[in-house]
Structure 1
Amino acid sequence: MNIIIIEDELRTARSLETIIKEIKPNARITGQYQSVEDSVAALSETAQPDLIFMDIQLADGLSFEIFKSVKITCPVVFCTAFDEYSMEAFKSNGVDYVLKPFSKENIKEALRKVDDLKNFFQQKITPDIESLLQRLSPQSGKTSFLVFKNQKYATVQTDNIAFFYIRNDSTSLMCFDGQEYTLSQSLDNIAASVSAKRFFRVNRQYLVNFKAIKEVEHYFLRKLYVKLVIDTPEKLLINKEKSHSFLTWMEER
């Protein structure tokens, strides 16, 4: 089986490749690409693989743009942090998904489903991308978080959270009113549970609410400097590889 991985996080791509080879030793990873542009070029010039693992948010935009330029005739497993409602949209179109952060069991199950659907994909049926986009709910995602402070449990509404961030190896949330709480979940898990329309992972340390963004400036080395309506312990910088997807995310409100 020839497999292509389209993923802008190199560490994630390497981890995915390792897991795939453990599950299917005869599988060949014939290409790894980080952007829409590179993926389109590669898929236009070479034969289609047997399977594609595809992230949704790439360095230069959403991977759905690939389908507008290239006719994909093989099954695609989306790797995404979208919520359960969005996942059902993918599944109803005959495409499986892996929810980040993924495990070996997640990948094994996805590969099993692809094998089961082999006859279906041989019909060269591709996902209805426009339908998927229309069915993604911008209001979906986790609506509250359970917090513990001063020996008391309470819930914080997600709408009231300005940003999540990693501080001293722990994950914390900061509310618009300045209240701060420590969480037991990792930032990766939180990013996977909140609405991708409302929150953006600007870097490895920060996940910000769209409503908290005050302004964005150009910074050195083609980075972006994001200023929030509430102060952050460090400057929020977005590297040049992620700048395009961030600006696209801001524009699509």
Structure 2
Amino acid sequence: MNIIIIEDELKTAKSLENIILSLRPNVKIVGQYQSIEGSVKALSEQPQPDLIFMDIQLADGLCFEIFKQVKVNSPIVFCTAFDEYSLEAFKRNGVDYVLKPFSKTDIQDAFQKVDGLQNFFQQKVIPDLSNLLTKLSSPVGKESFLVFKNQKYTTVQTENIAFFYIRNDASTIMCFDKQEFALNQSLDQIMALVSSKQFFRVNRQYLVNFKAIKEIEHYFLRKLFVKLVIETPDKLLINKEKTPAFLSWMEDR
């Protein structure tokens, strides 16, 4: 099996290579690329590999630009620190979506998924992922959160939450009626519980409900300024690297 790695962090690429070779000593790493430009050139001019491990955010932009410039027939294991690109990834030959920091077990699981595609490498046929895409696009997620306030436990319906944010180093719920409740979970844990179709992590401090977004403005340095229907303690800014994913999320309705 011939494999290429597309990853702009050299240390991560080396770690991934070592894991791959420890799990599959007989495979060949036939190329490593750090940019969209280099990847397009390699995929255009050389035989395409049996499998690609691909980061999403590369040195010169999002990896999805590669698919606009060259037809990619190889199955892809996407490795990224962000989970909001999963739907787009599975539209692009994705057979697995591994979140960083990944482990040897994560890569082993990815290989098992590739192996499980019947006659995949012989037939060179991309599997039918329509059922998986349907599940990914469905608005599933935790429906309520148990909170404790004023010496009482109560539940807050997720649909009534405008945003989650970090306040005094703790996760906090802000409801549309401006009630606030503290939570024990981290923002990362909350993000894994709620629907990725309904909530978006705009930055390290805020996880925002689509229904809470009032308008979006262009800001300095190609950032976006997001205004909600209720006031936020901080200005909500989305950096230029995350802008394409956010706009795609906004449009996917």
Structure 2-normalised TM-score? Answer: 0.72
Q: Cα distance, 1:146 vs. partner? A: 2.7
Q: Which protein has greater RCO, CA pairs closer than 8 Å, 6+ apart?
A: 1
1:156 maps to 2:156: yes
Aligned match of 2:124: 124
* CA deviation vs aligned residue, 1:136-175 (integer Å, no higher than 9, x gap): 4342222222323334333222211111222333322211
Cα separation, partners in 2 of 1:190 and 1:62, compared to 1, 3 Å: farther
Aligned match of 1:2: 3
Cα separation, partners in 2 of 1:16 and 1:24, compared to 1, 3 Å: same
- Mapped to 2, the partners of 1:252 and 1:47 lie a distance apart of 34
Aligned match of 1:30: 32
- Mapped to 1, the partners of 2:71 and 2:250 lie a distance apart of 28
Q: Cα distance, 1:49 vs. partner? A: 3.4
CA RMSD after TM alignment: 3.9
Structure 1-normalised TM-score? Answer: 0.72
Cα separation, partners in 2 of 1:130 and 1:115, compared to 1, 3 Å: closer
Tell me which structure has the larger Cα radius of gyration. Answer: 2
Structure 2, unmatched stretches of 5+, are: none
- Mapped to 2, the partners of 1:189 and 1:16 lie a distance apart of 27
- Mapped to 1, the partners of 2:76 and 2:250 lie a distance apart of 27
- Mapped to 1, the partners of 2:234 and 2:217 lie a distance apart of 15
Aligned partner letter, 2:83 = A
Structure 1, unmatched stretches of 5+, are: none
Give the 5 Å matches for 1:229-240: 229-240=229-240
Cα separation, partners in 2 of 1:14 and 1:115, compared to 1, 3 Å: farther
Aligned match of 2:114: 114
- Mapped to 1, the partners of 2:250 and 2:106 lie a distance apart of 31
- Mapped to 2, the partners of 1:219 and 1:94 lie a distance apart of 33
Cα separation, partners in 2 of 1:103 and 1:170, compared to 1, 3 Å: farther
- Mapped to 1, the partners of 2:19 and 2:174 lie a distance apart of 40
- Mapped to 2, the partners of 1:104 and 1:149 lie a distance apart of 42
- Mapped to 2, the partners of 1:135 and 1:69 lie a distance apart of 29
* CA deviation vs aligned residue, 1:9-31 (integer Å, no higher than 9, x gap): x6xx9657635524534674712
Aligned match of 1:21: 18
Cα separation, partners in 2 of 1:70 and 1:162, compared to 1, 3 Å: same
* SS of corresponding position for 1:141: coil
Percent sequence identity over matched residues?
64
Aligned partner letter, 1:72 = V
Number of equivalences: 239
Aligned partner letter, 1:216 = I
- Mapped to 2, the partners of 1:24 and 1:151 lie a distance apart of 55
Aligned match of 1:190: 190
Aligned match of 1:145: 145
Q: Cα distance, 1:46 vs. partner? A: 4.3
